[in-house]
Amino acid sequence: MSNDGKVSDLFPRGSSLRNAVKWISEQRTLRPDESLVKLIDEASIRFDLSPQEASFLHQTLRGQA
């Protein structure tokens, strides 16, 4: 698999996962005092993410906090 350096390579492939990332980003602006872990857990339920997708969010987003 080659990496052509496309911006789309930075985003998750599944629409549920993309929507969850977008929702978490919006919620962090609206609810800055809310824990990131709680927002990820809420997004996991709201967007019906698989355990692997939820784990990906925890690993990726918590590394950026």
DSSP string, 5-63: --GGGGS-SSHHHHHHHHHHHHHHHH-TTS-HHHHHHHHHHHTT--HHHHHHHHHHHHT
Q: 43 and 25 in contact (C-beta within 8 Å)?
A: no
| pLDDT score at 1 | 45
Report domain extents, the chain: 14-62
What are the pLDDT digits (tens) for 15-63? 999 999 999 999 999 999 999 999 999 999 999 999 999 999 999 988 7
What pTM was computed for the model?
Answer: 0.74
What tokens does 30 get? 């609206």
- pLDDT above 80: residue 7: no
Query: What's the CA gap between 31 and 56, in Å, rounded?
Result: 22
Average pLDDT over residues 1-11: 52
Place of tokens 């990906």: 56
